[in-house]
Amino acid sequence: MNNKLYGNLIFELSHPGRRGYSLPKNTFGHHEIPSNIKRSTDAALPECDEMTVVRHYTNHSENNFGVDNGFYPLGSCTMKYNPIINEEVAAMPSFSNIHPLQPEHTVQGALEAEYNLQRALSALTGLADFTLNPYAGAHGELTGLMIIRSYHQSRGDEKRKKVIVPDSAHGTNPASAAVCGLEIVEVKSTSEGLVDVEDLKPLLGDDIAGMMMTNPNTLGLFETDIPEIAKLVHECGGLMYYDGANLNPLLGVARPGDMGFDVMHINLHKTFSTPHGGGGPGSGPVGVREDLVRFLPKPHVVKTSEGFTTEKGCETEYNVESSHVSTFLGNFLVSLRAYVYILTLGKENIKMVGPLATLNANYVKECLKDVYELPIDVLCKHEFVFDGLKDKSTGITTMDVAKRLLDYGYHAPTIYFPLLFHEAMMIEPTENESKETIDSFISIMRTIAQEAHDTPEIVKDAPRTTPIGRVDDVLAAKHPVVTYRQMLQEAQ
């Protein structure tokens, strides 16, 4: 849509005196606002009629791309379809209008839903109990590491300050460890893309608090040496942390708790279909094995003979620092969506999620590996990584391919991550896409590979059909123009 006509900012469309609403008549009587908190000038709010406001936001929203309007193969992000029923339940006033400080006997249904979700996550992962409090995957990692730290402190084992993180890990892993005050020790990957056990052995010692592993890892590969790794880490006194942000391919197939992991987080906003993108709302529940349950943050929903209640205080002196990681019970409506998703699929259907996600990823990989470079050619899980085009003579980069996909109406895959390859392109189709959608994506990817050969300038110039063309990344990073006013000034 033509943004010039409708304006970039609602403020540009403002005309003094225009109104899109009328406030109801004051029936509360006149109450003078104390002068010390009363503003002296009017707020600079836009003044627009209702239709202008509707068009302005509708046109902007149409510039948006989401799972609801197109294929979104963003690897490591599991941009899966968010079923409408999740939204309908989350919007029910009996859930959306409750207050966290309401007496517990008035919100038994909400607490029961939370409790049941905790139980369902335990059943799916093989861990004893979960907290739903963390707001995101990274927040879950931090919470989990705090639990690990509290565990060591509770045993008077103060010198364990190091966390082992594989070189293929998501950037949040080392970041969370650093925020938790732990030192990061990197373990290398083998040429097959798996954690190198030989590289790991010399890193282990009595200063290791734990090891973080992602499985399937960020290359979409199942870490086959987990039993041995878990044994080695446990023998040296460390705990095993499972980054379960991408649990999708394992749902109903394998459980981290059975593999020897002690603590894990899950991204409800990936695996469990709650919306994500644009910064939230997310949810990163953390699960622990039995003897770590006492370190879970509070409040925590439990079931008693009288009904559902929340444990609030700290049970031990050791969980003080991990006792509160969020206000109340985290993003309740996100938890609720995940619970609805689990119930909608049911015990049997949820077992199809992992195999279908895996099938779809392998299908895309096999159909494209003759034109895109596949550095690790093995059976993948829910996602896989190409290293740019196979024909390196075209000069067309992964960035060019990603931009060209936008012209064809697709979201780009994750690019230049993981850092193990120069031209990484990480593709994750998810389980919900039809064969027709996947086939047309494959066909467009092949078309772009052909264009790279025949008409490379078209690919270099992409995108041409989006509201904004190719952005100069370096300029954008070095000289960001982040406000509209700044943009106007620069334009003058």
Ligand X SMILES: *Cc1c(COP(=O)(O)O)cnc(C)c1O
Residue 284 beta carbon to ligand X: minimum distance, rounded to whole angstroms: 6
Instruction: Say which residues have a Cβ less than 8 Å from residue 182's Cβ, sequence separation at least 6.
Output: 145, 149, 161, 162, 163, 209
**Among 136-144, 306-314, 380-388, 451-459, which window interacts with ligand X (CB under 6 A)?**
136-144
Query: Residues 176 to 205: which contact ligand X by CB under 6 A?
Result: none
Instruction: Quote the strand ranges of 297-430, DSSP E.
Output: 300-304, 307-311, 384-387, 414-415, 424-427
Query: Residues 224 to 263: which contact ligand X by CB under 6 A?
Result: 243, 245-246
- Please say whether the beta carbons of 380 and 361 come within 8 A: yes
Q: From CA 257, how far away is CA 263, in angstroms rounded?
A: 8
Check binding of 138 to ligand X (CB under 6 A). Answer: yes
Among 189, 215, 267, 274, binds ligand X (CB under 6 A): 267
Residue 269 beta carbon to ligand X: minimum distance, rounded to whole angstroms: 6
Residue 432 has a CB neighbour count (10 Å cut-off) of 16
Residue 243 beta carbon to ligand X: minimum distance, rounded to whole angstroms: 5
Judged by CB, which is closer to ligand X: 131, or 172?
172
- Please say whether the beta carbons of 122 and 287 come within 8 A: yes
Residue 407 DSSP one-character state = H
Check binding of 214 to ligand X (CB under 6 A). Answer: yes
Residue 78 beta carbon to ligand X: minimum distance, rounded to whole angstroms: 8
Check binding of 427 to ligand X (CB under 6 A). Answer: no
Please, which residues bridge with residue 214 across strands?
243
Check binding of 137 to ligand X (CB under 6 A). Answer: yes
Judged by CB, which is closer to ligand X: 150, or 214?
214
Q: From CA 166, how far away is CA 221, in angstroms rounded?
A: 13
Closest CA to 304 of 142, 108, 153, 71: 108
Residue 196 has a CB neighbour count (10 Å cut-off) of 16
**Among 30-38, 81-89, 131-139, 460-468, which window interacts with ligand X (CB under 6 A)?**
131-139
Q: How many angstroms separate the Cα of 37 from the Cα of each of 32, 33, 42, 243?
A: 11, 7, 13, 47
What track of x and - describes contact with ligand X for positions 351 through 390 (by CB under 6 A)? ----------------------------------------
Judged by CB, which is closer to ligand X: 149, or 170?
170
Query: Residues 40 to 79: which contact ligand X by CB under 6 A?
Result: 76
Judged by CB, which is closer to ligand X: 83, or 277?
277
420: left (phi over 0), alpha (psi -120 to 50) or beta: alpha
- Please say whether the beta carbons of 361 and 429 come within 8 A: yes
Q: Going by DSSP bridges, is the β-strand pair 414-415/307-311 parallel, antiparallel, or unpaired? A: unpaired
Check binding of 172 to ligand X (CB under 6 A). Answer: yes
Judged by CB, which is closer to ligand X: 7, or 220?
220
Q: From CA 149, how far away is CA 318, in angstroms rounded?
A: 9
Residue 397 beta carbon to ligand X: minimum distance, rounded to whole angstroms: 23
Query: Residues 282 to 311: which contact ligand X by CB under 6 A?
Result: 282, 284
Check binding of 274 to ligand X (CB under 6 A). Answer: no
Check binding of 330 to ligand X (CB under 6 A). Answer: no
Residue 33 has a CB neighbour count (10 Å cut-off) of 8
Interface residues with ligand X (CB under 6 A)? 76, 136-138, 170, 172, 214, 218, 243, 245-246, 267, 282, 284
